[in-house]
Structure 1
Amino acid sequence: MSDTEASRPADLGRQIAVIAAFCFMIIGAMVGTGLLGGTAVQDLQGGALDADASYLAPARPAFSIWSAIYLGLAAYTIWQALPGQRARLRQRTVGWWIALTMVLNGLWLVVAQFATLPLTVLAIVVLLVALGLTFRRAVTSRLTGEGFLDALLIDGVTGLHLGWVTLATVANTAAWLTATGPAAWEASATLWGIVVLVVVALIGLAIGFFGRWRIAPALALAWGLCWLAAARLAGAPSAPEIGVTALLVAAVVLLPTVVIAGLRLVRPDVD
């Protein structure tokens, strides 16, 4: 069954919108990270977004995942602009949504550079919701027999983006609460950190279930959790209990996905 119909003017408009959204995201990233003369991300908001600013912040190497996400979004932007992709039903289903997530991605960095810490939380929560809806649409619009590029550039890249932003939302919110809360809160920070990570485990499993156990979100989330563990076990502020919990949550999130991926190799009809 083909998912290509006759081309419409709106299809070309969608392709152009995706390109424009990617350009905005890259410009936003350059502004937000200080490449155009602003402040580096780790120094924004008085350092509240740095790896040592809260108990739920991952170590700095974790943020290298943005390179993979941006590279994947660049590849998607080029691929979806090809004439053969213009009138595909799947591109019509997800193209505008992926464009929206790229705009919101760039907007978060601009907000972090020029606005307040609470507004960064609002911006990243909106991005997370948009990514969740986009990933769900991507998974449910997938037709049997669609190729490797569909799996990689739509399901894979969107899933990677979603998984990482899930943890980034937790870290961003923790940074805000740490920066604005009373000093007395630190006495119970370890307990609340563990509780939040249990919630992250439930969210990760929910993403897996509703995303039909696509592996990309679990990989990104587990990546961030492992670096969070590294930061708490070997960095400052030290919190070994949170570090161990983060490793356990990474395993809980990743294991079901890996098992089902293995089953799909044996039985392709498993979904």
Structure 2
Amino acid sequence: MTATAARPTSPLSTADQTRRFAVVGAEIFCVVGTLFGIGVLGTRVEESSGGALAATATLVAPAGPAFSIWTPIYLGLLGYAVWQLAPANAVRERVRSTGWLAAASMVLNALWLLVTQQGWIWVSVVVIVALALTLGLLVLRLTREAPRSTWERVLLDGTFGLYLGWVAVATCANVTAALVDSGVDLGATGNQVAAVVVVAVAAGLGVVLARRLGGRWAVAAAMAWGLAWIAVGRLGDEPRSPATGIAAVVAALVVLAAAQRWHRTQDLGGR
């Protein structure tokens, strides 16, 4: 069997140059939005929108420590913005096919933070759904070709995998927050049943993502993280809901099991 010849690398084009600097611009905008979201330039997320997005606002809001996942995501986005500037990286097909989506995700993230500053909770739902779809398409495109280096695996696959997994859970929480803020109240029992259904939807979404994306551990880990902190919040903080907490634990395990199943299937299929 003869070795397959390496694909020739195409030269850096004007489109590549435009895209890589657009990513840097989007990253700067993302940092500005983040400064608003953490309260440096504006109001902290948990205090904006009338407290609708606080960790104790709804039955499916993750407990406060869950949001520490943004630290590796933001560091990864910064590292990616710098990494993709190198001409050798900018001409990679994986970068070319995902660069504009990466930039869009950064802009949408900042936009979400700025929208919540204004208290526009339903607009924030539209923005986060757009963000989730953008990240889903981005990670799907990453599955077409394996990373060539550890840095690429960390900065592309790892960062955007965590980003997608967290946003998937956050979308469910955001929709719930908008409904509660709009006055939807099904009563003590009804609210808990609805919360369990939302958690089940999140688990189902995790299974779909595992199947479509080949059981990516970064995606599953971020989803399981978010679901686990929903469980912590409902079992140890107000508003208490043991049913929701237990459902969130089960959902986290389901997401991880799905990733294991399809990751293993992908490995076997590649032999």
Q: TM-score range by the shorter chain?
A: over 0.9
1:3 and 1:89 in contact (8 A); partners too: no
Q: Which residue of structure 2 lines up, in the alignment, with residue 8 of structure 1?
A: 13
The 5 Å alignment of 1:179-190 reads 179-190=181-192
**C-alpha displacement of 1:185:** 4.2
User: Residue 128 of structure 2 aligns with which residue?
Assistant: 124
Q: Distance in 2 between matches of 1:156 and 1:94?
A: 14
Q: 1:43 aligns with which of 40, 47, 56?
A: 47
Aligned residues: 266
The root-mean-square deviation of aligned C-alpha atoms, in Å, is 1.9
Identity between Structure 1 and Structure 2 (%): 39
Q: Distance in 1 between matches of 2:10 and 2:188?
A: 58
* Aligned residue number for residue 66 of structure 2: 62
Counterpart among 87, 93, 96 of residue 91 in structure 2:
87
AA partner of residue 117 (structure 1) = I
Query: How far off is 1:260 after superposition?
Result: 5.5
Question: Do structure 1's residue 107 and structure 2's residue 111 form an aligned pair?
Answer: yes
User: 2:26 matched to 1:25?
Assistant: no
Bigger shift: 224-233 or 146-155? Answer: 146-155
Relative to the length of structure 1, the TM-score reads 0.92
Letter in 2 for 1:22: E
Deviation at 1:65, TM superposition (A): 0.3
Q: Structure 2 matches for 1:1-271, cutoff 5 A?
A: 1-2=6-7, 4-36=9-41, 38-140=42-144, 142-143=145-146, 146-258=148-260, 269=270
Q: Which moved more, 1:2-11 or 1:65-74?
A: 2-11
Are the aligned partners of 2:203 and 2:254 in contact in 1 as well (CA < 8 Å)? Answer: yes
1:107-146 CA deviation, whole Å, 9 max, x = no partner? Answer: 1000011241111111111111111111111112x14x72
Q: Distance between the aligned counterparts of 1:3 and 1:179, measured in 2?
A: 55
Q: Which runs of 5 or more structure 1 residues have no equivalent in the other structure?
A: none
Instruction: Describe the superposition over 1:9-32 as per-residue Cα deviations: whole angstroms up to 9, x where unpaired.
Output: 111111100100000000011123
Contact 1:3 1:88 in 2 (8 A): no
For 1:199, the aligned partner's letter is: V
2:76, 2:186 → 1: CA distance?
43
The answer (yes or no) to whether the contact 2:59–2:234 under 8 Å persists in 1 is yes
Q: CA deviation at 1:264?
A: 7.5
* Matched AA of 1:244: I
TM-score, scaled relative to structure 2: 0.92
Q: Give structure 1 regions of 4+ aligned residues with deviation exceeding 3 angstroms.
A: 182-187, 258-265
Q: Matched residues in 2 for 1:123 and 1:102: separation? A: 12
Gaps of 5+ in 2: 1-5
Superposed displacement of residue 211, structure 1: 0.7
Of the structure 1 ranges 114-123 and 230-239, higher mean CA displacement relative to structure 2 is found in 114-123
